[in-house]
């Protein structure tokens, strides 16, 4: 790679990085030692929420600021570790009172409000499984995910409930309890519960559930090429990885003020927006508002943020906003900046180093890995555009799949292969809920196959190449084409649909749909808008196509599968590749 | 452009991006993205569309002035005056 290397010249002033010597840290690392940095439950067992909250209170750190919430309208709410612990206990009591048992799934659908964080931690204390949903999802993705996870309880807001839940609630029999965060002033409906009223009446004391390391704790939905979204199961032992990767890859120190901009509706916002900062005992900033360049720079300065974890789309939006906004002094306190969600382009790394005075450190992981697996470290040189090197305790390789399902390791430098990880790290997913077969397909021997194509240079740095499948990555969110196509063909005019990701300078990729119409319908702008509106209504803006075009028919294989790959190659002007299986082309 | 014309144009452009939006029921003084259920990419597309139609170049630092329907109409009216 001819990109300039960003050298880290010796020890920077001030804080010494947690990981100073990469090779040594890798050689000396063991997961047992990482586990020993946590306390475990007093009577044995392991619980994520205990490590995040109770343990700090028990060790005399209850008075420390855990969470500072910044509201859209300028409000500020502060929670110390003791206060957050008490609130989570109250919610755990509320769940117990309503009959939520160990293993039951508790969902959240809300913007970034304190109650969301309290619900997550309280659910874990109860021994229930926390499953976050993204509040910008439309009714359809929400319903699918609650249904597949057999959600028993949901914490949401009145607005989201009315718009996205109420229309289908009666069709999901498992969903017994819906708590409204802002339900106090609302008309009392029989089918919803006023969360605040219940919280006020609940005790601040709660005996935490006796969960074991292998008990299910988190259920994160992710998308594949085919079929419905998959519920990736994570267990309480994942906290060992959440903790240690926060320490090494994000360089979290206990005096840090840390801001993760990710929404807890996605895995980053849970692993590194709730759990890891709390187990590491830092102060975390939560901003309710969406991206706004001016606001973000102000938060970094006014809140004295020292560690900042954000995403390429946001970084590119900051670049668009220009460097004029960066006043001198605004970045004095920020010590470490990291990025995740999709590969961070080298220009963005170089830009940050020049304009912000420090580089973004890209890292790589996915829903299934539960935590950061490959990273650029605070003490290590950065090769802009590279995702970095594997975390201590993580063994990454590149493999090629054979026809018989076996894999062969690719050893040559800069040769493309599928990124694979040796099984066994604590936050590895333990299954897709109710889909054993789909889970098994991700493994070949001891390798977990990630579905991402990458290369490794002679220094051991990994470079992202692309996806091995048709999954779309837009603004850091994984979108399954099948979920979008299914919603499109539900429109009466649409006979078939194919969905691909097209490059976008800000979002990385955006969703583009090709639709063919049923015989009685004619192509028109009005119909196009109607189909777009239909898709957005069902899927929400984060998943729905940004662009739809008509086709008379779509390219299919002999077995009837739509060849998205071919549509994409044509869209991008790339070679069409092997089209020997093409039966009928698009028209 | 007066405020009414500006509002009409804004509704039209937002309607192209989010055809499902119901402009009759939204609160014109409330957060547009929340009221219409649009995301930040939709918002960027909206800004681009306004630029195409009117020539008005909205700098990033002014985005928050367009955060509500009323605010956006006032902004556009002023800039096209």
CA–chain centroid gap for A572, Å, is 27
| B25 and A CB contact within 8 Å | no
Radius of gyration of chain B (CA): 11
| pLDDT score, position A177 | 96
Tokens coding A540: 């929400």
DSSP per residue, A107-145:
EEE-SS-HHHHHHHHHHHHHTPEEEEE-TTS-HHHHHHH
Q: Measure CB to CB from residue A475 to each of B20, B38, B41 and give the nearest one.
A: B41
Residue A357 to residue A94: CA distance in whole angstroms: 47
Residues of A in contact with B63 (CB under 8 A): 292-293
Does B60 contact A321 at a Cβ distance shorter than 8 Å?
A: yes
Alpha-carbon distances of A566 from A91, A217, A487, rounded to whole Å = 50, 40, 22
Q: Measure CB to CB from residue B42 to each of A322, A504, A541 and give the nearest one.
A: A541
| A294 and B CB contact within 8 Å | yes
| Band (A2; pLDDT cuts 50, 70, 90) | low
Nearest residue on chain A to B20, alpha-carbon basis: A533
Q: Domains in chain B, ordered, with CATH?
A: 3-79 (1.10.1200.10)
* The model's pTM: 0.92
Chain A nearest-CA distance from B56, in A, is 16
Smallest CA-to-CA distance from B72 within B28, B34, B36, B38 is with B28
Q: For residue A206, give the 3-state DSSP assignment.
A: coil
Contacts with A199 (C-beta within 8 Å, 6 or more apart), sequence order = A87, A90, A91, A94
| pLDDT score, position A349 | 96
Q: How many cross-chain Cβ pairs, A to B, lie less than 8 Å apart?
A: 60
Q: What's the rounded mean pLDDT across residues A270-287? A: 98
| pLDDT score, position A556 | 87
Q: Are B26 and A163 in contact (CB under 8 A)?
A: no
| pLDDT score, position A443 | 96
Does A537 contact B16 at a Cβ distance shorter than 8 Å?
A: no
Chain A nearest-CA distance from B20, in A, is 4
Q: Are A4 and A350 in contact (CB under 8 A)?
A: yes
Nearest residue on chain B to A137, alpha-carbon basis: B37
Q: What's the rounded mean pLDDT across residues A448-453? A: 95
| pLDDT score, position A541 | 94
| pLDDT score, position A12 | 57
Does A506 contact B16 at a Cβ distance shorter than 8 Å?
A: no
Tokens coding A34: 């990482």
| A293 and B CB contact within 8 Å | yes
Which DSSP helix (H) or strand (E) runs through A399? strand A396-401
Q: Measure CB to CB from residue B20 to each of A294, A321, A536 and give the nearest one.
A: A536
Q: What percentage of chain A exceeds 90 in pLDDT?
A: 85
Residue A435 to residue A122: CA distance in whole angstroms: 28
Chain A nearest-CA distance from B59, in A, is 8
Chain B nearest-CA distance from A537, in A, is 6
Q: Are A398 and A420 in contact (CB under 8 A)?
A: yes
Residue A14 to residue A385: CA distance in whole angstroms: 27
Segment A456-492, tens digit of pLDDT: 999 999 999 988 888 999 998 889 999 999 999 999 9
Segment A151-180, tens digit of pLDDT: 999 999 999 999 999 999 999 999 999 999
Whether the predicted pLDDT of A74 surpasses 70: yes
Q: Domains in chain A, ordered, with CATH?
A: 22-453 (3.40.50.12780), 472-584 (3.30.300.30)
Mean of pLDDT over chain A: 94
Whether the predicted pLDDT of A191 surpasses 60: yes
Burial A290-327 (b: 16+ CB within 10 A, else e): bbbbebbbebbbebebbbbbbbbbbbbbbbebeeebbe
Highest mean pLDDT among A184-193, A249-258, B20-29, B55-64: A249-258
Residues of A in contact with B31 (CB under 8 A): 72
Does B41 contact A292 at a Cβ distance shorter than 8 Å?
A: no
| pLDDT score, position A3 | 58
Residue B79 to residue B81: CA distance in whole angstroms: 6
Smallest CA-to-CA distance from A287 within A169, A412, A116, A125 is with A116
Q: What is the dihedral of CA A440, A446, A449, A454, to 10 degrees?
A: -170
Does B20 contact A293 at a Cβ distance shorter than 8 Å?
A: no
Does A536 contact B33 at a Cβ distance shorter than 8 Å?
A: no
Tokens coding A448: 């977990």
Does A536 contact B63 at a Cβ distance shorter than 8 Å?
A: no
Which has more pLDDT, A585 or A133? A133
| pLDDT score, position A1 | 46
Q: For residue A239, give the 3-state DSSP assignment.
A: helix
| A475 and B CB contact within 8 Å | yes
Residue A259 to residue A389: CA distance in whole angstroms: 23
| pLDDT score, position A574 | 85
Residue A84 to residue A38: CA distance in whole angstroms: 19
Q: Measure CB to CB from residue A530 to each of B19, B38, B39 and give the nearest one.
A: B19
Residues of A in contact with B60 (CB under 8 A): 293-294, 317, 320-322, 325
Q: Measure CB to CB from residue A537 to each of B16, B20, B39 and give the nearest one.
A: B20
Q: Measure CB to CB from residue B39 to each of A295, A533, A541 and give the nearest one.
A: A541
Q: What are phi and psi of A6, to 5 degrees?
A: -90, 110
Q: What's the rounded mean pLDDT across residues A296-325? A: 93
* Burial of residue B80, with CB atoms counted within 10 A of its CB: 0-12 exposed, 13-18 middle, 19 or more buried: middle
| B27 and A CB contact within 8 Å | no
Q: Work out whether strand A177-180 and strand A193-194 pair parallel, antiparallel, or are unpaired.
A: parallel
Segment A75-105, tens digit of pLDDT: 999 999 999 999 999 999 999 999 999 999 9
Segment A330-351, tens digit of pLDDT: 788 999 999 999 889 999 999 9
Whether the predicted pLDDT of A13 surpasses 70: no
Whether the predicted pLDDT of A577 surpasses 90: no
Q: For residue A452, give the 3-state DSSP assignment.
A: strand
Residues of A in contact with B40 (CB under 8 A): 290-291, 317, 475
Segment A531-570, tens digit of pLDDT: 999 999 999 999 999 999 999 999 988 877 888 989 999 9
Q: What share of chain A is helix, strand, coil (3-state, %, to 5)?
A: 30, 25, 45
| pLDDT score, position B81 | 83
| B16 and A CB contact within 8 Å | yes
| B20 and A CB contact within 8 Å | yes
């Amino acid at each position: 790679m001819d990109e300039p290397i960003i050298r880290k010249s010796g020890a920077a002033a001030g804080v010494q990085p947690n990981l100073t010597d990469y090779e040594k840290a890798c050689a000396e690392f063991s997961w047992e030692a990482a586990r020993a940095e946590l306390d475990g439950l007093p009577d044995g067992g392991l619980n994520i929420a205990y490590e995040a909250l109770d343990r700090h209170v028990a060790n005399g750190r209850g008075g420390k600021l855990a969470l500072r919430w910044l509201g859209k309208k300028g409000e500020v709410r502060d929670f110390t570790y003791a206060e957050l612990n008490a609130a989570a206990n109250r919610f755990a009591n509320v769940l117990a009172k309503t009959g939520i048992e160990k293993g039951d799934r508790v969902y959240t659908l809300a913007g970034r409000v304190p109650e969301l964080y309290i619900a997550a931690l309280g659910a874990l204390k109860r021994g229930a499984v926390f499953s976050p949903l993204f509040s910008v999802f439309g009714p359809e993705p929400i319903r699918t995910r609650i249904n597949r996870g057999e959600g028993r309880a949901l914490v949401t807001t009145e607005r989201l409930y009315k718009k996205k839940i109420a229309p289908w609630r009666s069709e999901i029999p498992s969903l017994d309890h819906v708590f409204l965060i802002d339900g106090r002033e609302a008309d009392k409906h029989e089918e919803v519960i006023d969360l605040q009223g219940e919280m006020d009446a609940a005790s601040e004391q709660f005996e935490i559930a006796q969960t074991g390391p292998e008990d299910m704790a988190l259920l994160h939905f992710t998308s594949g090429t085919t079929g419905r979204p998959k519920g990736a199961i994570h267990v309480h032992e994942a906290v060992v990885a959440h903790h240690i990767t926060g320490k090494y890859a994000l360089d979290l120190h206990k005096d840090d003020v840390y801001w993760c901009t990710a929404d807890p509706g996605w895995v980053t916002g849970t692993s590194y927006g709730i759990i890891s900062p709390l187990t590491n005992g830092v102060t975390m900033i939560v901003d309710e508002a969406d991206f706004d360049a001016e606001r973000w720079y102000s938060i970094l300065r006014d809140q004295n943020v020292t560690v900042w974890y954000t995403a390429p789309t946001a970084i590119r939006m900051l670049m668009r906003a220009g460097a004029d906004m960066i006043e001198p002094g605004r970045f004095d306190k920020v010590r470490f900046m990291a990025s995740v969600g999709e590969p961070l382009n080298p220009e963005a790394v170089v830009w940050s180093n020049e304009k912000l005075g420090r580089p973004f450190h890209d890292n790589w992981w996915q829903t299934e890995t539960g935590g950061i697996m490959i990273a650029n470290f605070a003490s290590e040189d950065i090769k802009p555009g590279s995702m970095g090197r594997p975390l201590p305790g993580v063994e990454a390789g590149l493999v090629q799949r054979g026809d018989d399902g076996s894999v062969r390791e690719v050893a040559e430098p800069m040769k493309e292969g599928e990124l694979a990880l040796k099984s066994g790290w604590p936050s590895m997913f333990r299954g897709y809920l109710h889909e054993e077969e789909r889970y098994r397909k991700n493994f070949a021997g001891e390798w977990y196959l990630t579905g991402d194509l990458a290369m490794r240079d002679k220094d051991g740095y990994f470079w992202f190449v692309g996806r091995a499948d048709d999954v779309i990555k837009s603004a850091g969110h994984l979108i399954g084409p099948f979920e979008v196509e299914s919603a499109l063909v539900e429109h009466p005019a649409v006979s078939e649909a194919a969905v691909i990701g097209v490059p976008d300078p800000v979002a990385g990729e955006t969703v583009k749909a090709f639709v063919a119409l049923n015989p009685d319908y004619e192509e028109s702008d009005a119909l196009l808008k109607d189909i777009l509106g239909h898709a957005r209504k069902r899927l929400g803006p984060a998943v729905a196509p940004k662009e739809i075009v008509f086709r008379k028919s779509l390219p299919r294989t002999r077995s009837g599968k739509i060849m998205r790959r071919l549509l994409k190659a044509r869209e991008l002007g790339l070679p069409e590749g092997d089209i020997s299986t093409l039966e009928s082309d698009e028209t | 452009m007066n405020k009414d014309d500006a509002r009409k144009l804004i509704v039209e452009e937002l309607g192209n991006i989010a055809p499902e939006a119901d402009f009759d029921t939204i609160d014109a003084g409330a957060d547009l993205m929340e009221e219409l259920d649009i995301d930040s990419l939709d918002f960027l597309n909206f800004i681009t569309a306004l630029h195409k139609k009117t020539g008005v170049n909205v700098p990033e630092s002014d985005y928050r002035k367009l955060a509500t329907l009323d605010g956006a109409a006032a902004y556009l009216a002023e800039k096209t005056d």
